[in-house]
A and B are shown apart, each in its own frame.
Chain A
Amino acid sequence: MSITLTEKAAEHVKEFFANRGKGVALRLGVKTTGCSGMAYVMEFADSIEDTDEVFESHGVKVIVDKKSLIYLAGTELDYTKEGLNEGFQFNNPNVKDSCGCGESFTV
């Protein structure tokens, strides 16, 4: 199972990388914290580690460490607007339950 980006998400990722001026890949991951078990990690990455799996979607290189991949496999990353707010959204098939805010989830 791979990780994919919607075209819109890819466009925004490229824009943010261009603005930052450096970085080799977009890191996605999870960490065990938050009110409902796990939370998403999304960061600019300046290097790729040996433990990372590398995916490519719409010209964006995405890296996920092997441990996180268990919880993220099949995820599609989207970019959406909700009213004035806008940002990335994880469409993660592994999620069984998420807290009200959507920042953390359980599998």
Chain B
Amino acid sequence: MALIQISEPGQSSKPHERKLAVGIDLGTTNSLVATVRSGKAVTLPDEKGEHLLPSVVYYAKDKSILVGTAAKQHKITDPLNTITSVKRYMGRSLEDIKAKESPLHYEFVQTDSNVPRIKTQAGNVSAIEVSAEILSVLKQRAELSLGDELTGAVITVPAYFDDAQRQATKDAARLAGLNVLRLINEPTAAAVAYGLDKISNGVIAVYDLGGGTFDISILRVTQGVFEVLATAGDTALGGDDFDNVIANWIKQQLDLDADIDKSLRNQITHAACQAKQTLTTERSADITIKFPDKEATLTLSREQLNSLIDPLIKKTLLPCRRALRDAQVELEEIKAVVMVGGSTRVLRVRDKVGEFFQQQPMVDSNPDTVVALGAEIQADVLVGNKAESDLLLLDVVPLSLGLETMGELVEKIIPRNTTIPVTRAQDFTTYKDGQTAMSIHVVQGERELVSDCRSLGRFSLKGIPPLVAGSARIRVTFEVDADGLLHVSAREETTGVESGIEVKPSYGLTDSEIEKMLLDSMEHAEEDIAARMLHEQQVEADRVLEALAAALEDDGDILSEQERQKIDAAAQQLAKIKTGNDDRAIKQAMQELDKVAEVFVSRRMDSNIRKAMAGHNVDEFKAQD
């Protein structure tokens, strides 16, 4: 017996053609699924009434798989077969994981496909497969709750997720049998849940302080269209740190050493967390710690708590300032501040954020479920259950996308924080005479040299007609779709030969790595530019020598032996200097060579006017001014 929901006027669906959509918040610690019932977005509970599904998967010896609370119980007894926080492995290579995690929490197995697998007693599993188990449970819960199969799902991802991580999330959903309508950024979903698409125009901030991570996003809303202007954050800052400072305070008050036993430490951490929660409603909290021989009771006032956590809150305001700067908006332009994440229940956080943004932050919705609800509202629109909706979510690319050019330099095609979907094209040409193929290396990052950026993939364009260097026209197009996935193609314009790649999850970046890359690009700005100039001069020198050699080959006989010796000496000098790291010296050597080769150039012009008219030889010797 199907149960019926209230539809919008004129939107009643035909039997068996109901368009059921869900929104999924696939979290590091917990996951949620939401749907719309009679026009109202709600998160769906399991049989026991629990809405949050712990993002934990247990692989048993008999190859059975447990997900959620049941899996979590195995964490202590069987940690290697109980996978927690799998989100941090999504779209990442084994090297990435090793660099981040030491010691490794699991035993990893390298595979040919570059997607590492976690060794469990039920077989080796990839992060994508583990995530798919979590998504399967949520899908099943949704289908039982809605009485039919799902049409599609919107899944949220951190704003910082790169292409590989987004692709991995999509793959996990597909593996779970979900039709992904779209991936949207978590802050964007939260803004939608607050109905901020209804405000006509303005800039809003989403402040997301979870258990272990902090994210700030600046969004612009224009007639219901969302555009993420900038994101920033701190991947190692959250509510757990609040608990830690309170726990340290307790230890200090009780004169406890740092090396107390594990059960006492757990007791203190638990008491700290409880006190934090109590203080969201009460002015003071009693903390009781039980020892084998005695009991100690402390009182923590809200004022004391505030002074303990103020330095941590202050740390969240730095990224806020950075995001505002990146977004190029003034504080006065911020029309609303949305609070997301359980830690925003702490009153001091609300006060300080309010103070920073000079306005009352929005705290009406449950900060734990607001992301899933926003995703569902978007999903409902995408399957067509809303009469007239033009809600369209735009996001940004978190790091610049570009390609490698001669001299291992990065040519940025799509700059950081460009809104997506986006398509940008740029024309490139060949470097050598008769060059018939071009290798295209796609990179991500803010630095000037390829070696400092992240390699996303390579492909080659073959079948370029053999022409003089610089005359072939190759158009390279970078396309980032609405899900943030990158497709790069190259096309030789005269023949139309084409080639391209879709970026696959071979590599991935974490928030902290992205942060690091951004910071590095600022810290190394000077040396980067110096390196760029050096490489540019080296490439130029190579090109000059190459062109000179070709010219000498053709017309060397018009020179006297002495003239030839002079040119050769200058060329040798340049060849020697260019291997050094003084860009000015290279430039000077090129000018020297230019001077001694002047005779050759002018004589060549005389003897072969037609060649000179074609221009390329002369140009090559004059370009260094």
Q: Which residues of A contact B2 (CB under 8 A)?
A: 87, 101-103
CB atoms of B3 and A41 under 8 A apart: no
- Chain B minimum-CB-distance residue to A19: B40
CB atoms of B15 and A103 under 8 A apart: yes
Contact with B along A21-53 (1 / 0, CB 8 A): 000001100010111000111111110000000
Interfacial residues of chain B within 1-34, with CB under 8 A of chain A in the complex: 1-12, 14-16
Contact with B along A88-107 (1 / 0, CB 8 A): 11100000000101111000
CB atoms of B6 and A44 under 8 A apart: yes
CB atoms of A33 and B15 under 8 A apart: yes
Summarize B's interface: helix, strand, loop or mixed. Answer: loop
Which of B142-150, B363-371, B448-456 touches A? Answer: B142-150
A-B contact count (CB 8 A): 96
- Chain B minimum-CB-distance residue to A83: B144
Tally of B interface residues using CB under 8 Å: 28
**Cross-interface CB contact of B6 among A34, A42, A46, A90, cutoff 8 Å:** A42
Interfacial residues of chain A within 49-107, with CB under 8 A of chain B in the complex: 80, 82-90, 99, 101-104
Q: Which residues of A contact B46 (CB under 8 A)?
A: 84
Q: Which residues of B contact A102 (CB under 8 A)?
A: 1-2
CB atoms of B44 and A39 under 8 A apart: no
CB atoms of A16 and B12 under 8 A apart: no
Summarize A's interface: helix, strand, loop or mixed. Answer: strand
The answer to whether A8 has its CB under 8 Å from any CB of chain B is no
CB atoms of A45 and B9 under 8 A apart: yes
CB atoms of B3 and A46 under 8 A apart: no
CB atoms of B40 and A87 under 8 A apart: no
- Chain A minimum-CB-distance residue to B148: A101
**Cross-interface CB contact of B7 among A12, A15, A34, A44, cutoff 8 Å:** A44
Which 8 pairs of residues, A with B, have the shortest CB-CB distance? Answer: A87-B3, A103-B15, A34-B15, A102-B1, A84-B145, A16-B38, A19-B40, A84-B144
A sample of 18 cross-chain residue pairs with beta-carbon separation below 8 angstroms, ordered by A number, consists of A16-B6, A35-B16, A42-B5, A43-B7, A43-B12, A44-B8, A84-B141, A85-B3, A85-B145, A85-B146, A86-B3, A87-B147, A88-B4, A88-B6, A89-B4, A101-B2, A102-B1, A102-B2
Given contacts A27-B9, A46-B9, A104-B15, 17 further A-B contacts (CB under 8 A): A13-B6, A33-B14, A35-B15, A40-B4, A43-B10, A43-B11, A44-B7, A84-B141, A84-B144, A85-B147, A87-B38, A88-B3, A88-B38, A89-B3, A99-B15, A101-B1, A103-B4
